[in-house]
Structures are given as structure tokens and as C-alpha cells.
Amino acid sequence: MKTMIRPCRQEDISELSRLYHQLQPTDSTTLEELTSSLAAITEYPGCGVFVAEVDGRVAGVYTLYMLPNMTRNGRPVAILENIVVDEALRGHGIGRAMLEFARGQAQARGCYKLSLTSNAVRTEAHEFYRRCGMVQHGLSFRYAL
């Protein structure tokens, strides 16, 4: 099973909807909203949505934000968001391939870190991130808006 990571295209939107529903079953984001969000993200410098393709089929997705930073000698920061691998294809190295690709992207841009947040109840995902070499660091706080 060979995994290819590539930028997301408009024709991938229905597959993204399917995958995001696996991540957040109660989310009601429409195809139109996904299309609009994809355009907005890809227009922002250093940001993009990427898919993992296996045998011509979208099997995973993540969003990568690389943003300017005021510290660390001005080196940018990279943030991963909305990472999901198709439930039926987990355990085949797709998630690891996505993380490695994102890490390479962040390193190529000179980012000083690549980070993500994960819901506290997603303990299997946390173990996966650790197996991939990520280190738990700090705490996450937020305002629900």
C-alpha cells in the first residue's frame, strides 16, 4: 500500500466531508462551506490542506498552518489541524506518512516546531503521536466561541 501526500483539490471535497465526519460525527459543515474554507486556507501564504492518497483514493487529510513568529529568531511555527485517516485504513502507515510529510514541510520552511492539539479523550491518537516521535508538551486552553 503506497501512500502519496498531495495538496487537496476541489474535487476532493466530498471525500474530505466523509473523513471529517469520522473525526467529528456531530459536525454539520456543508460541502459549500468546505469549498469556501479550502479556498481561504490555500490563499493564505504558508498554509494548506493536504490529502493522503492510496490506490487513487483519498485516505487521509490534514491542515498545515505555517505562521510567522516573534521569538525563536523569527523562525515560523507550524501547526497541524484536523488530522484524520479513514477508519477502515488505520494501522497501515497512512497517518505516519502524513506526519512525516508535514514535518518535512515545516523543516523546509525553517519552522522551530510542529505542534498539534488533540481532544483529551482521544487517548489512542495520543499514543499514535507518541509512537511517531512526538512529545507531549504543555497544556492547551481555549475559549469556545
61 located within any domain:
yes
Q: Which residues span the domain enclosing 113?
A: 3-131
Question: In total, how many domains does the chain have?
Answer: 1
85 located within any domain:
yes
Tens digit of pLDDT at every position of the chain (145 positions)? 799 999 999 999 999 999 999 999 999 999 999 999 999 999 999 999 999 999 999 999 999 999 999 999 999 999 999 999 999 999 999 999 999 999 999 999 999 999 999 999 999 999 999 999 999 998 888 898 9
Task: Say if pTM beats, i.e. exceeds, 0.85.
Answer: yes
Q: What cell numbers appear for 142 in the block?
A: 481555549
Distance of CA 105 to the CA centre of its chain: 12
Distance CA 128, CA 13 (A): 26
Q: Could you tell me the CA-to-CA distances from 83 to 49, 51, 72 in Å, in that order?
A: 10, 10, 26
Strand, helix or coil for residue 49: strand
138 located within any domain:
no
Quote the pLDDT of residue 1.
77
46 located within any domain:
yes
41 located within any domain:
yes
